[in-house]
Chain A
């Protein structure tokens, strides 16, 4: 069975600090996708990134970066120079590339950026 664990339930930092959200996953599949979604206070789910299990290169998008390490089954998300608008719940998710392709979500991490 697939499983995603986000051990950090809540994180609170002061604006401009860097913050890393941890994601650890379990799967027996050799090929899979990993995702991060953002849920701002308004409630909608916003797609941030998809990573293919074949590609272990780190990715950077503005202040956001992702570190994928297959050896430790982790897909961590770092926000550099955090801003109040980054306050949200962040979900990590896993999906098989073959078969039903269902998304399995972690429990979510509530990030609060204080001014």
Chain B
């Protein structure tokens, strides 16, 4: 079984809809991250969390919110989706033992029409 899972893997939604992307991990890591990937821009950090009570904004947090429900679960929400949020979204995990190496989920491809 994969150590970092993301659901759904693919999602098509309409402008204005609320959508939640979920990430779960079995690696026991305390740090979790959400990135979005756009062609030609690489991966950009949306939010990150060092534990359940520690949530931090990343480079491009506007239009997104997150919830760390447990050490193993980190959800990303788009309150009112817009077309320029169409992207590939990755969740990642790490902890002090990984020396900053992050372990990525398989990605969620989101299309906002």
Interface residues, chain A, with chain B CB atoms under 8 Å away: 4, 6, 9, 33, 35, 37, 43-45, 47, 50, 52, 91, 95, 97, 100-108
Contacts and interface: CB of A to CB of B under 8 A. Distances in A.
A91 B100 contact: no
29 contacts: A4-B42, A6-B42, A9-B40, A33-B99, A33-B100, A35-B101, A43-B88, A43-B106, A43-B109, A44-B106, A45-B104, A47-B103, A50-B99, A50-B101, A91-B42, A91-B43, A97-B100, A101-B31, A101-B100, A102-B33, A102-B45, A103-B43, A103-B92, A104-B45, A105-B44, A107-B40, A107-B41, A107-B42, A108-B42
Majority-rule SS of B interface residues: strand
List the 3 closest A-B pairs by CB distance, nearest first.
A105-B42, A45-B104, A95-B100
B74 interface: no
B6 to A, nearest CB: 11
A50 to B, nearest CB: 6
A64 B104 CA distance: 22
A47 B101 contact: yes
Contacts of A106: 42
Size category, B interface: 20 to 34
A101 B31 CA distance: 10
B94 interface: yes
A44 B107 contact: yes
B56 interface: yes
A30 B31 CA distance: 23
Contacts of A52: 99
Contacts of B92: 103
Given A101-B100, A103-B45, A43 B40 contact: no
Contact of A44 (B33, B35, B104): B104
A60 to B, nearest CB: 20
